[in-house]
Structure 1
Amino acid sequence: MDTVEAFQRLGVALAVGLLVGIERGWQERSVRAGGRTAGIRTFALIGLLGGLTGYLQPYLGTAFTVALLLLFGAIFTLFKRREAEEEEDYSVTGVVAAILVFVLGAAAVVADPAVAAAAGVVTAGFLAARNRLHGFLKRLTWIELRSALVLLAMTVVALPLLPDRPIDPWGGLNLRTIWLMTVMIATISYAGYIAVRVAGSERGILFAGAAGGLASSTALTVAFANFARSAPENGRQLAAGAIIAGALSLARVLVITFVLVPSLSFKLAASLVPALLALLAVSFWTTRHGERGRKTPELQMNNPFDLLVVLQFGALLGAVTWVSKVLVDYAGPAMLYVVAAISGTMDLDAIALSTARLAGGSLALDTAGTAILIAVIVNLFTKVGLAASGAGASTFTVRLAGATLFCIGCGLAGYMLLMPLVPAPVPT
C-alpha cells in the first residue's frame, strides 16, 4: 500500500480506539485520575498500536503480531486485575474490549478498514448498552426465554428437516410453508406482547389497545370487556382501545397478504384501508371527546412464542389450509366462503395466510379477496358479541358496535367505489 492509504488505514485504527475509549471513559468518568486501567487516551493508543502492528506484519511476520498481541493481553490483564482487586469488580469486559480494539486496529490495516470501523461502532454500542441489556435480562422471565429458545431450536434444527412439498394426496399440506408462516405470525404478535411487557399498560388505554392489536385484538377485546364490567366509568376509553386494536388487526391482514401476494393486498386495500381509517378516526374521536379514564386495565397476554401457542396456531393454520385447498379443488371456490366465515370467528391470520397461498393459482384473486373480507366482517361481529357477553349492554359494547357498523359501511363503500379503480395484475 502507498503512504496515503497507510495513513488512512491507521486513522481508522486510531478512530476505533478513540470511539471505544470515549465510551469507556464516560462509563468511568467518576473514577479518580489514575484510578482506572484504561480510558480515552489508552484505548486510542491501543487502536493505533494494533494498526502499527498490522502495518509491520509484512516486514516482521505473523509471529511478531501474535507475540505482541499475547504480550499486550497479558500486561493489560495484569493491570486490570489490580484494578479489580481494589474496586472488587471482576468483570472481564474491559480486557475483552482492549484486546478487541487491538485486533480491530490491526484489521483496519491488513484487511478491510470499513469492516473494522463497523465492528468498532458495534463494539462501542454494546459497551454503552450495558445498563439497558442488564435491565432487559432482569425483566426477562424464564417462560419467555425458554419459549424463545425452543422456537429457535425448532426453526433452526427442525425447519431444514421438514419436506418442502405437499405430504398429502390432495396437495394441501406443505409442512415447511406452514411452519414458516406460523413463525411469521408469532413474530408479529410478539412485537405487541413485548410492547405491553416492557412499556406496561399504564402508558394508557390507547397504547395498550395498539399493542394488543399487534398481539391479539380478540384477546384484548375480551380483556377490556371484562374490565368495563367492573369499571363502567371507563367504557368510552376502553372502547377506543378495543377499536384501535381492531384497526391494527386489519392492518395485519394487509401486511400478510402484501408479503405473500401483493396484487391481492391491493385489492383488499380498496375495502380495508377505508375501514381501517374509519376505526382509527372513531377511536381518536372517542378519546378526544370522552372523559379521561381514571384506571387502565392490567393486560394479561399469553406469550405468542410459547411452544403450545405456536403449535396451536400451526395446527389451526394447517387445518384451514388443507380444508380450503380440498374444498376449492373438489367443491368449487364458492365453498371457501364457508371456511372463511367459520375461520373468522376464531382468527383472521389463518384464513388470510391460507387464502393468500391459493390466490393467483387455483383460486382467482377476486374470490380470494371476497373470502378474506367475509372473514374480516365475521371477526368484527364476533368481537362485538364477545364484548356484549363480557360487558353487557354497556357504553363499551355500544361504542364498539357503532364503530364496527361504521367500519363495515366505509369498507363496503370503498369496495364499490375504489375496487373498479384497482388495476388488474399483470400476467407473469
Structure 2
Amino acid sequence: MDQMEILQRMALAIAIGALVGVERHWRERDEDEGSRTAGIRTYTLIGMLGGLAGLLERLLGAAGALPGLVLVGFLVTLTAVFALFQYREGVAEHRFSATAVVAAMLTFALGALALIGDTMLASAGGVVLAVILASREFLHRAIKRLRWVELRSALILLTLAFVLRPIVPAEPVGPFGGVSPAKILIMAIVLAAISFCGYIAVRLLGATRGELVAGTIGGLISSTATTIANARRSRQSPAVRALAAGAVSAGGMSLLRTGFLVSAVLPSLADRLLLPLAAGAATMFAGALLLARASATAPPAEREATGQEGANAESASLEPGSPEPKNPFDLASVFKMALLLVGVAFAARVASQLWGDGGLYAASALAGLADVDAVTVTVAGMLPTLDPAVAARALGLAVLANMLAKAAYAGLLGARGFALALAGASALALLAAGASLLLLR
C-alpha cells in the first residue's frame, strides 16, 4: 500500500465519521455547547481514530505483532470512555439509550475497515449506519403501528426464506427430470411475499393505490402468483375492483417484463414480438388505471372497506378495540398453490420429453399456464437450431396460455366481479396484440 492509497483510505475513514457526526449533531443541534457527549467533531475524530488504529494494526502486523491487539485495545478504551460520558449525560437528562455508544463503536470499526479492508464495504456501512440513525422517528412509529399478525407473518416468511430454504434439497425427485422440493418452497415463498407486500402496501397507501402498486411490483416477480393471491382475497373483501386493478397491472408488468427478456435473450425475435407485447401491456395498464379510478369512486361502503378514507380510516383501524386484521397470507393455501404451479411446469416438461420437438408448442402452452420466463429461456437455448418463426409461435402460445390461465384462476378462486374485470382486460390486451401483429404483416 503506497502513501497515496493510505491517504485515500484515511480520508474515507474521516468522511465516515463526519457523516455519522452530522446526523448525531443535527439531532441535538438545539442543545447548549458542552451538554452533548458527542457531535460532528467527536464522531469525525472517532472515524479518524479507527483509521489510525487500522493503520497501526497493519504496520505492527507486518512486523510480527499479535493480530488484533491494537484494534481491540483502542476499541475497548473508546467504548469505556464514551459509555461513561453517555451515562453521565443520561443521568443528567433522565433518559437512557445505548444508541450513541453503539454508533461510536461502529464508526470506529468502519474507520478501521477503511484502512485494512474493503473500502466499498466500509463506505456502504457508513451510509447504512447514518440512514438507520436518521430513521429513528420512522422506525419508532412503524413499531407502534405494527400488529402481531403482521409480525408473525413476517417471521414465518423470513423462516421460510432463510432457515428452511438452505436446508431443503434442490435435487429433483421422480421421473422425467423430477420435481425439486426447493422449487416448491421457493414458489411458496414468492406467493407469500407477494401477499405480504400487498397487505403492507394497502396498509400504507389505502387499498386502491396500495393494490395498484403491489400488483405492479408483484408482476415483476410473478403475475400468476399475484393474480392467485388477489383472487383469493377478492372472495373475502368488498374491494373487488381495487384487487382486480392490482391483478391487471401485474399482467401488464408481466408482458413488459417478457418484452425486456426477449430483447435480452432473443434479440432475433424482437421485431416479431416486441410490438404485440408492448400493445398488450399498454392495454392492461390502461385497464388497471380505469379499475382503480372506478374503485376510488365506488359506493361509500366499498370505499370504507378499501381504506379510501385515507389517514382517518387508517388511524381508526389502529385504535384499541378495532377488529383484528386478516392474516397477510394463509400458509396452507400458499403451499397448495405452489404445488399446483410446480405441477403444471412438470407436466409441461413431461410433454416436451414424450413428444420431442413436435411437442414444443404443447409444452410451451402447458408451461405458460404457470410461467412464461421458463419458456423464454428454454426457447433461447434452442434457437440456434430452431426456426425463428417456430420459436416466436412457441413463445406467443406461452404468453396466450398464461393470460388464459390467469383468467381461469380468477374465475375459479376469485369473486365474480374480479374474474370479469380480469377477463375483460385480458381480452382487450389480446385484441390489441393481435391488431399489432396485423400491422407487422
Is the TM value for this pair above 0.5?
Answer: yes
Give distance in 1, aligned partners of 2:205 and 2:213.
Answer: 12
| Residues 71-82 of structure 1 aligned to structure 2 (within 5 Å) | 71-82=77-88
Query: 2:396 is matched by which residue type in structure 1?
Result: G
What's the CA shift string for 1:269-318, capped at 9, x where partnerless?
554431221233355468789994574342788635x5334422221122
What's the CA shift string for 1:382-416, capped at 9, x where partnerless?
7589888459xxxx96x777645432311222344
Question: Is the Cα–Cα contact under 8 Å of residues 83 and 101 in structure 2 kept in the other structure?
Answer: yes
SS of structure 1 residue aligned to 2:18? helix
Indicate the larger mover: 94-103 or 238-247.
238-247
Question: Is the Cα–Cα contact under 8 Å of residues 50 and 103 in structure 1 kept in the other structure?
Answer: yes
Against the structure 1 CA distance between its residues 376 and 6, is the aligned structure 2 distance closer, same or farther, given a 3 Å change threshold?
closer
Question: Is the Cα–Cα contact under 8 Å of residues 349 and 363 in structure 2 kept in the other structure?
Answer: no
Indicate the larger mover: 282-291 or 323-332.
282-291
With normalisation by structure 1, the TM-score equals 0.72
With normalisation by structure 2, the TM-score equals 0.70
| Residues 198-209 of structure 1 aligned to structure 2 (within 5 Å) | 198-201=204-207, 205=208, 207-209=210-212
Give distance in 1, aligned partners of 2:415 and 2:102.
Answer: 60
What's the CA shift string for 1:94-113, capped at 9, x where partnerless?
11111222233334344455
Give the root-mean-square deviation of aligned CA atoms: 4.5
Against the structure 1 CA distance between its residues 121 and 386, is the aligned structure 2 distance closer, same or farther, given a 3 Å change threshold?
closer
Against the structure 1 CA distance between its residues 404 and 167, is the aligned structure 2 distance closer, same or farther, given a 3 Å change threshold?
closer
Question: Is the Cα–Cα contact under 8 Å of residues 222 and 390 in structure 1 kept in the other structure?
Answer: no
Question: What's the CA shift for 1:78?
Answer: 0.9
What's the CA shift string for 1:243-280, capped at 9, x where partnerless?
56314224236537966994499676554431221233
Which residue in the other structure is 2:14 paired with? 14
Which residue in the other structure is 1:37 paired with? 37
Which residue in the other structure is 1:281 paired with? 286
| Residues 4-403 of structure 1 aligned to structure 2 (within 5 Å) | 6-57=6-57, 58=59, 63-184=69-190, 186-188=192-194, 190-201=196-207, 205=208, 207-212=210-215, 214=218, 216-217=226-227, 220=230, 242-243=244-245, 245-252=247-254, 255=257, 262-263=265-266, 269-284=274-289, 292-293=297-298, 295=300, 296=303, 297-298=305-306, 303-304=328-329, 307-330=331-354, 333=359, 336=362, 340=366, 350-352=370-372, 359=379, 365=391, 366-377=393-404, 379-380=406-407, 383=410, 389-390=416-417, 403=425
| Correspondent of 2:428 among 377, 386, 406 | 406
SS of structure 1 residue aligned to 2:175? coil
Give distance in 1, aligned partners of 2:25 and 2:37.
Answer: 10
Which residue in the other structure is 1:423 paired with? none
Against the structure 1 CA distance between its residues 283 and 102, is the aligned structure 2 distance closer, same or farther, given a 3 Å change threshold?
closer
Task: Number of aligned residue pairs: give it.
Answer: 396
Against the structure 1 CA distance between its residues 416 and 29, is the aligned structure 2 distance closer, same or farther, given a 3 Å change threshold?
same
Query: 1:325 is matched by which residue type in structure 2?
Result: R
Unmatched segments (≥5 aa) in structure 1: 232-237, 421-428
Give distance in 2, aligned partners of 1:334 and 1:68.
Answer: 67
SS of structure 2 residue aligned to 1:33? coil
Unmatched segments (≥5 aa) in structure 2: 219-224, 308-324
Give distance in 1, aligned partners of 2:422 and 2:371.
Answer: 24
Question: What's the CA shift for 1:151?
Answer: 3.9
Give distance in 2, aligned partners of 1:334 and 1:107.
Answer: 54
Question: What's the CA shift for 1:327?
Answer: 3.6
SS of structure 1 residue aligned to 2:176? coil
Question: Is the Cα–Cα contact under 8 Å of residues 259 and 274 in structure 2 kept in the other structure?
Answer: no
Query: 1:216 is matched by which residue type in structure 2?
Result: T
Question: Is the Cα–Cα contact under 8 Å of residues 351 and 375 in structure 1 kept in the other structure?
Answer: yes
Query: 2:279 is matched by which residue type in structure 1?
Result: P
Against the structure 1 CA distance between its residues 86 and 353, is the aligned structure 2 distance closer, same or farther, given a 3 Å change threshold?
same
Question: Is the Cα–Cα contact under 8 Å of residues 52 and 106 in structure 1 kept in the other structure?
Answer: yes
